[in-house]
Amino acid sequence: MIGLVMFGTTLLLLMVGFPVAFTFAGVAVIFGVLTQGIDLFGFMPYRIMSVMQNTILMAVPLFIFMGIVLQKTKLAEQLLEAMGIYLAMCVAVWQFLPF
């Protein structure tokens, strides 16, 4: 039952126009305090630390940074054009193979 109420509250806040991140965080904290009490905040530092030590989540900002660097230096366009030329030559060679 509490899940449906949380879902409805989240949908309502999103339809009103609140940002997604603040809506998710706010609904989670409010319903956590309502169901678990104020002791919920005692566990938050441990949870935040475990999320910060997750190596998969650490890689996400680096992938975003790599994409921005490739975009700003025009290296991505050059790589795409080079692959297009290379693959066009391969297709031209493959046309003569007796398959």
pLDDT in tens, 52-75: 888 888 888 899 999 999 999 999
Same domain flag for 63 and 96 = yes
Same domain flag for 72 and 42 = no
**DSSP 8-state assignment for residue 40:** G
**What is the per-residue pLDDT across 11-50, written as a single tens digit (0 to 9) for each?**
999 999 999 999 999 999 999 999 888 887 887 788 888 8
Contact 10, 24 (CB under 8 A): yes
pTM: 0.49
Element (H, E) at 56: helix 55-72
The residue type found at 79 is L
Same domain flag for 70 and 41 = no
Same domain flag for 3 and 44 = yes
Same domain flag for 60 and 49 = no
Same domain flag for 36 and 75 = no
- Our count of domains for the chain comes to 2
What is the pLDDT averaged over residues 92-96? 68
- Domain with 77, as residue range(s), is 56-99
